[in-house]
Structure 1
């Protein structure tokens, strides 16, 4: 099986680093400096203070890659349309693209280009931070679960490959509960860490911040229940705070985006809750506020006051 990872950011780089010794893999990303560093000196991954380098093929040109059986899509939501076009170039006729992205709506974007029979959904709780061109940090080996559709054999093959590479993985015939569970945790963590400019742990250790997490999560849970989703989270607020504490030193992906002045995934995370809430008649005023604040942060990035 040949795999291409479309999007060599934090998550894609960590996955590629681990899979490279056990399967044929290529990283595809438009960031030329990052791709150049990987090809020149290898991809360097830090874990628990130790850094290891591995040689992994990387390119900015999808046309240079031989057709693959699977494309793992790990780009940010704003790049999903590009990822869909890239997957269309890379995949063999029977190949499948699996999205491991945050939020809701990415699989639908891929399906519009590739067709529903060539798009799979996966949920991952791997923690990763991009440190710079050619450098990434693994923050935690959380499990990755692949949906059985559209190909049970490919899903099992991917899970087996991940496990062989030292990454916990499994297969599920119903991902809705996991997709929404991860969404709700992201709703409680990402926007607030970006706005407050704090690592995840601050949300669990500072009572004023924990109270904000509760507001965001409780709205999201109300929307999920109205949508008929059975959540695997027994106590969504407590479990969101537990994730924040377990990843205390980690900077959320949305905080990383805000700090470097990049677009965030607010529309597919908190924005998804707002849209579903409107559709279902469930009020989501706090998540609407979080969306407005993050979008204002994005828009005012060039005007930001710097310390003297």
Structure 2
């Protein structure tokens, strides 16, 4: 399978590296230093135990240099960039090519459906975690299962994509309920990302610190209440216990929102905690903890240039 990864940050690079063992993979990312480092030295993927492996991948900052002959586009950009990423995907895919989002938050699948239609739109969630160490260098900080669903019953090619992931050694399964996938991951991100970013700690600290658990429990409970009002079934029985287990499995990982805050970049809080606030307001479900977390992240973004190091 010929695969283009759109957004080669930590997670895009890690999945590109894993998929390259059995598929023809190309990375597309606007960060010139990262793409140049990969071209010169290869992509270094550091394991949680300190192991290192170098992958030789083709990457580009200019998708117009690529032929429109890809079978699959995997979108790993930040959510605010999804619309542009899907437009790139459309220009690079074969007429029957598919696009898969493995991003955080709500709304990303909707963008793919809007551009490509439900028959070519896929959504997935993954328990893998990654951190960008530097140009051409990422840390694979946590592993776990990946689940993929079609946008609707008419979606084609789900089995082929799952098989390609499995062939590359990625523990992947198909599921038939995209809402369960999306909300299952959203609740996890609600409990981890903003809290890790505000406290500036790796995931494992959140699960091991009772004071953190108090806030995590409140944020997760609000998200669960919204999901229940929407009649969305979550893929696990005890949401808070599951979020804490994810923290433990990715203990050394720096959440994506923490990585954004540390480098002074915009975050995805609007499609994570902010999405819970918006949905809760529409449904009459109170979400004060997620409101607070969203406002704190917004304040951190706004004061990035004035922060005392």
Aligned match of 2:71 = 69
Q: Secondary structure at the match of 2:144?
A: coil
C-alpha RMSD of the superposition: 1.4
Q: Does 1:144 align with 2:176?
A: no
Q: How far has the Cα of 1:116 moved from its partner?
A: 3.1
Aligned residues of 2:102 and 2:123 also touching (Cα < 8 A): yes
Q: Secondary structure at the match of 2:104?
A: coil
Q: Secondary structure at the match of 1:231?
A: coil
Cα distance between partner residues in 1 of 2:84 and 2:206? 34
Q: Does 1:276 align with 2:275?
A: no
Q: How far has the Cα of 1:241 moved from its partner?
A: 1.4
Cα distance between partner residues in 1 of 2:157 and 2:25? 15
Please give the TM-score of this superposition, normalised by the length of structure 1. Answer: 0.96
Aligned residues of 1:141 and 1:168 also touching (Cα < 8 A): no
Aligned residues of 1:141 and 1:167 also touching (Cα < 8 A): no
Match 1:97 to one of 96, 99, 104 = 99
Aligned match of 1:259 = 262
Q: Secondary structure at the match of 2:157?
A: helix
Aligned residues of 1:156 and 1:170 also touching (Cα < 8 A): no
User: Once superposed, which parts of structure 1, at least 4 consecutive aligned residues long, lie more than 4 Å away?
Assistant: 149-153
Match 1:201 to one of 198, 201, 204 = 204
Aligned match of 2:26 = 26
Please give the TM-score of this superposition, normalised by the length of structure 2. Answer: 0.95
Q: State how 1:112-191 maps to structure 2 within 5 Å.
A: 112-149=114-151, 154-191=157-194
Cα distance between partner residues in 1 of 2:168 and 2:114? 32
Aligned match of 2:51 = 50
Cα distance between partner residues in 1 of 2:251 and 2:93? 38
Q: How far has the Cα of 1:60 moved from its partner?
A: 0.8
Q: Does 1:226 align with 2:229?
A: yes
Which stretch shows the higher mean deviation, 70-79 or 176-185?
Answer: 176-185
Where do 5+ consecutive residues of structure 1 fail to align? none
Q: How far has the Cα of 1:148 moved from its partner?
A: 3.4
Aligned match of 1:59 = 60
Aligned length: 306
Aligned residues of 1:38 and 1:58 also touching (Cα < 8 A): yes
Where do 5+ consecutive residues of structure 2 fail to align? none
Aligned match of 2:307 = 304
